[in-house]
Chains A and B, each alone.
Chain A
Amino acid sequence: MTAPVASPSATGRYEAVIGIEIHVQLRTRSKMFCGCSTDFQAAPPNSHTCPICLGMPGTLPVANRLAVEHVLATGLALEAEIVPVTRWDRKNYFYPDLPKGYQISQYDLPLTQNGRLTFDTSEGPFTVGIRRAHLEEDTARLLHMTGDSGDRASLVDFNRSGVALMEIVTEPDLRTAEQARRYAEELRLLLLTIGASEAALESGQMRVEANISLRPIGAQAFGTRVEVKNMNSFRSVERAIGHEIERQAGVLSNGGDVIQETRGWDENRAATYTMRLKEDSQDYRYFPEPDLPPLKADPAWLDEIRARQPELPAARRARYRAELGLSAYDANVIVGDLKATRVFEGALAAESALPAKRVANWVTGEYLRLAKGSDAIDALEPAELGRLLRLVDEGTLSGTSAKEVFARIFAGERTAAVVEELGLAQISDGGALETAVDEVLAANPAAVEDIRAGKAQAIGFLVGQVMKQTRGRANAAMVRELIRSRLDAAPPAATAPRRPKGTPEASG
């Protein structure tokens, strides 16, 4: 890019003012205003349409109750006000992705407004104000092509047209790219937790746009703002905003003016580029949608939705720390991943006597290592992890064997069956251990001598030999005790044989 690069001192003279707009597709089976299925990812183009989502004249939209409830649930989770009576509005513009020539949306009476969301950053907790969350319909998908004669054409697939969409807008409270990324991540976790959206950035179920302006530190008035789009991962959100802050600081510190425009983020070039100038601001001529009656969110309905609300991420983190004694790190890692949360809760529910910290270690360690770092399919039944850890706790299974068993229960097997099949149950039976210990003592007279001569570290060598003989299944603590008691009781050998060549020096 030819844009001047800001020196660190230039960036330091300005404060960034960032607001985020996020669109998410809501998790419903049918579209917002008609019964067409939303399950079209693998379907042929235009196979999920009807006269309503094709915008045919004379059709009448009817709102999807579940979509409305998803927005109300989101509003409650964001501690927002729920507007007692709301209505729909038409946002008018012409574009081929919009068959009616208007989008049904909400303008001055969004379903919910004035909420907030708190999240952690590297500089501590941060709370962003949520201006509004409203309901609207998604547009069709466009593909662009150039025909044989060089004509440029757009191909339209209306499968996505009319899918329920929620728009969530923050106040311009954010100041850094990291805060913006963390907000988007925490909002996604919240939406997944309450089941309002699948919220995958890569597939466009969640679309993040940032409005960014700079002002001299200490100034009140906002600078000219630039809208940044096309950020398809959380990493891109942070990089794109960081880049745009630097770009604007470069322009301003060189005496230039920031131009109001929409810029796209190019992940490969790590730069933003001009998509559209906003010289004449859009004129959408909003007016009330006459085809849809107003919507009243009465207290009884809200109570119903509130009663269905699961534990939210912030409350869950607090409970894990205060009641289960987990570290902030463990609580964040587990709560940040819904599958890890399910495994943790399920294992503890199955074996409530287990120390929560131990379960947490396994979830953040072995479980997430396999779930995220391998191609293995996660078919873990959480209760099986509980059973596995109980066997470790009881001394039936060694730590090493437990990891071997875990890899199998991760793939869907039962703990008891795997332990049985592999013959992994730890030997804590005194008689069986005594036999193994006696054999090892007889085979290693040199080490026995060393111990008698005061080299206590040699016990470690003998314990190792017993573990080897029992393929790791011996209870190490019991073996150590047995060796001690055997050597205390038995008389010293009359003539100690020389240590055979190759026997390692017992060193503990």
Chain B
Amino acid sequence: MATLSRADVEHVAHLARLGLTDEELGRLEGQLNHILDQYEILAALPTDEIAPTAQTIELENILRADVTTPSLPVDEALAGAPDRARDLFVVPQIIGGD
């Protein structure tokens, strides 16, 4: 049985920067535990013979030569900025990250 606690849900919501109400947290706790239950069913399948797979498209080594291409004009790059100071994006300061 999956056992995501209310605290786990709150932690994940914080990591995703989601502000959730008590009612939403409660609903998501149920939904997330239900999803984990489905994974437990999958986890019961024998997979010893199968290599871990991160991708199903059979491509590898898709690389580009080290060649430059034109960049966007500055005004176009900044077109979606919430705020700008000259040619810089302006965002609220966040303390404590790195």
By a beta-carbon cutoff of 8 Å, the part of chain A in contact with chain B is: 28-30, 34-37, 44-51, 54, 62-68, 85, 87, 92-96, 143-145, 151-158, 262, 275-276, 283, 285, 288, 290, 292-296
Judging by beta carbons under 8 Å apart, are B68 and A29 in contact? yes
By a beta-carbon cutoff of 8 Å, the part of chain B in contact with chain A is: 11, 15, 17, 54-55, 57, 59-72, 74, 77-78, 85-94, 96-98
Given contacts A62-B62, A62-B64, A294-B55, contact A157 B71 (CB under 8 A): no
- Across the A-B interface, give the 8 residue pairs with the lowest CB-CB distance, nearest first: A35-B69, A288-B54, A66-B66, A155-B88, A65-B63, A152-B93, A156-B89, A293-B59
C-alpha spacing A93/B14, complex, angstroms: 11
Chain B residues near A35 (CB-CB < 8 A):
64, 67-70
C-alpha spacing A49/B65, complex, angstroms: 18
Judging by beta carbons under 8 Å apart, are A50 and B94 in contact? no
Determine the residue in chain B with the shortest Cβ distance to A31.
B68
Judging by beta carbons under 8 Å apart, are A46 and B87 in contact? yes
Given contacts A35-B68, A36-B71, A95-B98, contact A158 B63 (CB under 8 A): no
Give the Cβ gap from B29 to chain A, nearest Cβ, in Å.
18
Chain A residues near B11 (CB-CB < 8 A):
283
Give the Cβ gap from A299 to chain B, nearest Cβ, in Å.
14
Give the Cβ gap from B60 to chain A, nearest Cβ, in Å.
5
> Other than the known A46-B89, A154-B94, what 20 A-B pairs have Cβ atoms closer than 8 Å?
A29-B67, A35-B68, A35-B70, A45-B74, A45-B88, A47-B71, A50-B71, A50-B72, A65-B66, A66-B65, A155-B89, A156-B90, A156-B91, A157-B88, A276-B96, A288-B55, A292-B62, A293-B55, A293-B57, A295-B61
Q: Can you give 27 A-B contacts (C-beta < 8 A)? A: A29-B67, A29-B68, A30-B66, A34-B69, A35-B64, A35-B68, A45-B74, A47-B77, A47-B87, A63-B64, A64-B66, A65-B63, A65-B64, A66-B65, A68-B63, A94-B97, A95-B97, A96-B94, A143-B88, A151-B92, A155-B90, A157-B87, A157-B88, A157-B89, A283-B11, A290-B55, A293-B59
C-alpha spacing A296/B88, complex, angstroms: 39
Give the Cβ gap from B47 to chain A, nearest Cβ, in Å.
17
Judging by beta carbons under 8 Å apart, are B93 and A28 in contact? no
Q: Which of B17, B67, B93, B98 contacts A262 (CB 8 A)?
A: B98
Chain B residues near A95 (CB-CB < 8 A):
94, 97-98
C-alpha spacing A486/B69, complex, angstroms: 79
Determine the residue in chain A with the shortest Cβ distance to B54.
A288
C-alpha spacing A292/B45, complex, angstroms: 28
Give the Cβ gap from B25 to chain A, nearest Cβ, in Å.
18
Given contacts A156-B88, A156-B91, A290-B55, contact A63 B67 (CB under 8 A): no
Determine the residue in chain A with the shortest Cβ distance to B66.
A66
Chain A residues near B78 (CB-CB < 8 A):
46
Give the Cβ gap from B74 to chain A, nearest Cβ, in Å.
5
Given contacts A87-B54, A294-B60, contact A285 B66 (CB under 8 A): no
Judging by beta carbons under 8 Å apart, are B92 and A153 in contact? yes
Judging by beta carbons under 8 Å apart, are A293 and B88 in contact? no
C-alpha spacing A28/B65, complex, angstroms: 10
The B contact surface, by secondary structure, is loop
C-alpha spacing A283/B86, complex, angstroms: 35
Chain B residues near A34 (CB-CB < 8 A):
69
Judging by beta carbons under 8 Å apart, are B63 and A63 in contact? yes
Given contacts A144-B93, A296-B61, contact A36 B69 (CB under 8 A): yes
Chain A residues near B92 (CB-CB < 8 A):
151-154
C-alpha spacing A37/B70, complex, angstroms: 8
Judging by beta carbons under 8 Å apart, are A154 and B93 in contact? yes
C-alpha spacing A83/B62, complex, angstroms: 17
Chain B residues near A157 (CB-CB < 8 A):
87-89
Judging by beta carbons under 8 Å apart, are A153 and B93 in contact? yes
Given contacts A155-B89, A262-B98, contact A37 B63 (CB under 8 A): no
Judging by beta carbons under 8 Å apart, are B77 and A49 in contact? yes
Determine the residue in chain B with the shortest Cβ distance to A40.
B71
C-alpha spacing A37/B60, complex, angstroms: 25
Chain B residues near A283 (CB-CB < 8 A):
11, 15
C-alpha spacing A459/B65, complex, angstroms: 72
Give the Cβ gap from A234 to chain B, nearest Cβ, in Å.
23
Chain B residues near A64 (CB-CB < 8 A):
63-64, 66
Judging by beta carbons under 8 Å apart, are A93 and B63 in contact? no
Determine the residue in chain A with the shortest Cβ distance to B95.
A152
C-alpha spacing A144/B61, complex, angstroms: 39
Chain B residues near A262 (CB-CB < 8 A):
98
C-alpha spacing A63/B69, complex, angstroms: 14
Give the Cβ gap from A51 to chain B, nearest Cβ, in Å.
7
Judging by beta carbons under 8 Å apart, are B55 and A44 in contact? no
C-alpha spacing A94/B97, complex, angstroms: 8
C-alpha spacing A87/B54, complex, angstroms: 9
Q: Which of B62, B68, B87 contacts A293 (CB 8 A)?
A: B62
C-alpha spacing A275/B15, complex, angstroms: 21
Determine the residue in chain A with the shortest Cβ distance to B58.
A293
Determine the residue in chain B with the shortest Cβ distance to A108.
B52
C-alpha spacing A99/B64, complex, angstroms: 22
- Chain A CB count within 10 A is highest, among B17, B67, B69, B98, for B98
